[in-house]
Amino acid sequence: ELNNRRIVRKSLMLACDAPVGAILQSSMLQSLRPGDGISPALINKVIGRRLGRAMRRGEKLTWEVLA
């Protein structure tokens, strides 16, 4: 099970293109596999944060891209 955790779990990803400095809203996020990014369980810590760089639809969110 530990070997499959990264594949089976999900991460927060952008549902749309967003410019640098965009304030993240729940409508801008989706939960998709693989699970090596920010967990969907932490969505409340992500909403309201700004992007530190422009991102494209489908890109995985990491703590490093949040300002």
How does pLDDT run across 50-67, given as a tens digit for each residue? 999 999 999 999 999 998
Looking at residue 6, what is its pLDDT?
64
Residue 52: CA count within 13 A, CB half-sphere: 8
Is 1 a residue whose pLDDT tops 70?
no
DSSP string across the chain? -TTTHHHHS-EEEESS-B-TTPBP-GGGEEEES--SS--GGGHHHHTTPBBSS-B-TTPBP-GGGB-
How does pLDDT run across 23-39, given as a tens digit for each residue? 999 999 999 998 889 99
Looking at residue 48, what is its pLDDT?
98
Looking at residue 23, what is its pLDDT?
98
pTM: 0.85
